[in-house]
Chain A
């Protein structure tokens, strides 16, 4: 059981470049989300989705786009990378958003550096 898979594990971008961070889960979870982790700031929610075709903004959505065309995949797009987006990005999924109380399952993260 693979769980939540994130690719790539590491990425270096130049300012202004675009890229997509991939996230896939094989647990048929309805809820998926993206967080960024920065020293001293913990995890901050970027975007989340409660099901295919539905997305919403989190705490820090600016500079990021998402889409949810299938239950399994939830890619995060950086259209024009900035040094402030240097961070570790985590994707997480949850079985049912309506139950509210099931734990999140996290991927192992993508470490992004923007120069």
Chain B
């Protein structure tokens, strides 16, 4: 069965500092991995995805994520945080080798950037 873990409920970072939001996953086959962001009273918006190839994936708003197969991790990163990055972030996984089409989400991490 697929699963995703986001070990931190909240991450607090000062503006201008680098940020990392952690995600680990479990799938039977190869993973397709995604990051989404949710702003208040809105649906989720796609940020970036890992399918295959380079382990460092670049996405929207200056975010990037690093895929680490041995650690089964897909941490979200940004070199310099902005106050406007404050939001709820979700990691998601799909089993690339399965005929099932389920996309499973983690519990979310609230990112708070202080000025």
Q: How many residues of A contact B (CB 8 A)?
A: 28
Asked if A45 lies at the interface with its beta carbon under 8 angstroms from chain B, I say yes
A–B complex contacts, Cβ < 8 Å, 18 sampled? A41-B107, A42-B6, A44-B105, A45-B102, A45-B105, A48-B101, A58-B102, A59-B104, A90-B43, A90-B44, A92-B43, A94-B103, A100-B32, A100-B94, A101-B32, A103-B36, A106-B36, A106-B43
B contact residues vs A (CB 8 Å cutoff): 6, 9, 32, 34, 36, 41-46, 49, 51, 90, 92, 94, 96, 100-108
| Interface contacts beyond A101-B94, A106-B44, A107-B43: sample of 18 additional A-B pairs, CB < 8 Å, sorted by A | A35-B105, A42-B6, A42-B90, A42-B105, A42-B106, A45-B103, A45-B104, A50-B101, A58-B102, A92-B43, A94-B103, A100-B101, A101-B51, A103-B49, A104-B36, A104-B92, A108-B41, A109-B41
A contact residues vs B (CB 8 Å cutoff): 4, 31, 33, 35, 40-45, 48, 50, 56, 58-59, 90, 92, 94, 97, 100-101, 103-109
